[in-house]
A = this chain, B = another copy of it.
């Protein structure tokens, strides 16, 4: 008997399937065009590394405040206040190790084993994975997919809340769909959560990658500070800092000290000098964010141009945000097998629709945050295979 048998049930039975396991031995294989992860080919601007080096040389190498260093909290507060229509103060911001870490803290705060969380899907699988790790049931409410694109009827979320529901999770812009929930839909979700005493976890990790605009609509524009709302964000996408591990959350002021203690007991806080690098990214990184947005928009056009020529592919309107295209393939019944087959035949790495929700077996996800040559080559290969 291995030690694993002694782990508690929800850990012992955790699914070991993810994109990395699906990739088999081909992660990092230079012959593969990797469109499977939520990671592009750009690196964070040099100013971030320079700020980090400066912070180390200035001695920012010791323990820091559990909510984050005051400098970064203030910079984030000013940034969010400038981006939205309502002011956000530093007392509402806790720096975290990542967007994922923010989601986990939000779930630990709101749910316990036996409760359930409702995620608007198709959805990034790690939100449900985090819930299941806590023994929390991860339910989903499906967005509708039509020729008008992805849309959510908020009444369906309201109808699915029961006595054990403690949290509703949605991402806007969405992963994998890129769909932005209109403000009236977000307002309806917030009102439902207020009425039912349920927490709302809003993932805005892709909010700066909305094409042709400064940012996607944010629920912070309509929420009161003491709403049971946690807005999750990260430096990974807009600042290309995936490997750096830095994120934040906006939360009610009444939770600040509690989140400090939760941070203390889960990670003991975030790398001190990285937080100073994050402040520089926010303050000086806007030209990079604009370039990243253009990079994604250009990539989206390249990939969609090719997909729209394929009769078997159903795409809907092109996504107006994010770094993915999520497309349906006529006749596809097993998205995992299709990804493995496409990888073997074409050397293009995609993510299977099944990872993003029930009933997505006929979908595939491609990351479009890559240079023109790589994307055009990928689409040449895929077009032949999906013809």
Contacts and interface: CB of A to CB of B under 8 A. Distances in A.
A258 B229 CA distance: 30
Contacts of A62: 39, 242-243
Given A14-B258, A63-B37, A271-B274, A264 B100 contact: yes
Contact of A267 (B3, B59, B100): B100
A130 interface: yes
A146 interface: no
21 contacts: A2-B252, A3-B228, A4-B258, A7-B109, A7-B110, A8-B112, A16-B260, A39-B63, A52-B56, A62-B243, A97-B245, A100-B264, A100-B267, A113-B113, A113-B135, A126-B268, A129-B264, A133-B261, A243-B273, A244-B273, A245-B267
B63 A243 contact: yes
A226 B199 CA distance: 40
Nearest to A27: B65
Copies of this chain per assembly: 2
A31 interface: no
A129 B227 CA distance: 27
Interface in A49-77: 49, 52-53, 56, 59-66
Given A11-B258, A39-B62, A6 B197 contact: yes
A7 B255 contact: yes
A48 to B, nearest CB: 9
A208 B228 CA distance: 45
A258 B111 CA distance: 22
Per CB-CB distance, the 10 closest pairs between chain A and chain B, nearest first, are A2-B254, A3-B252, A243-B272, A100-B268, A4-B254, A130-B265, A61-B243, A129-B265, A245-B271, A62-B243
Contacts of A252: 2-4
Interface in A68-102: 97-101
Interface string A269-282: 11111100000000
A227 B266 CA distance: 24
Contacts of A374: none
A134 B14 CA distance: 18
Contacts of A63: 37, 39, 242-243
A43 interface: yes
